[in-house]
Amino acid sequence: MGRSVLALLFMPALSLAEGRDLYEHHCIRCHREDSAKPTEFLKAKFRGKPEAIVELSKRCPWGRNLSQMEIEIIAEWLSGVE
Ligand code: HEC
């Protein structure tokens, strides 16, 4: 059973923690504080707009290696809490 199936079962409680994990794994190396678009900037810009992140991921190289579900989980985390 893959992680995505597990994520579905335990949503939404698990998805927020997973979103952070996935983000740290796939995204943070280019979005650190000293980068052009730090994580805090992305969080502020995309607060409440997970669809916009999902949309962007289809056009940008960073979405290529991720499943739709992983992207959605990351998008939810990035646009939501904290
Ligand atoms: C290899 C480096 C790299 C990785 C990995 C990466 N990004 Fe980015 N990302 C960039 C760069 C560079 C830009 C700025 C592009 C621009 O403004 O033209 C960007 C822009 C963005 C934007 C749009 C910012 C805006 O101003 O609208 C979002 C959202 C984003 N990244 C999210 C992510 C997410 C989510 C991940 C992980 C799944 C990720 N990125 C992984 C380099 C990266």
Ligand 1 pocket test, candidate residues 21, 22, 37, 47, most atoms within 8 A of CB: 37
Cα 62 to averaged position of ligand 1 atoms, centre (Å): 7
Residue 17 near residue 82 (C-beta atoms within 8 A): no
Cα 43 to averaged position of ligand 1 atoms, centre (Å): 12
pLDDT value at position 82?
Answer: 45
Tens digits of residue pLDDT in 1-54: 556 665 555 555 566 789 999 999 999 999 999 999 999 999 999 999 999 999
Please tell me the distance from the alpha carbon of residue 64 to that of residue 41, in angstroms, as a whole number.
22
Residue 16 near residue 81 (C-beta atoms within 8 A): yes
Which amino acid does the sequence have at 49? K
Please tell me the distance from the alpha carbon of residue 79 to that of residue 49, in angstroms, as a whole number.
6
pLDDT value at position 4?
Answer: 61
Q: Is the CB of 49 under 6 A from ligand 1?
A: no
pLDDT value at position 30?
Answer: 93
Buried-state track 8-21, b at ≥16 Cβ within 10 A, e below 16:
eeeeeeebbebbbe
pLDDT value at position 52?
Answer: 96
pLDDT value at position 60?
Answer: 84
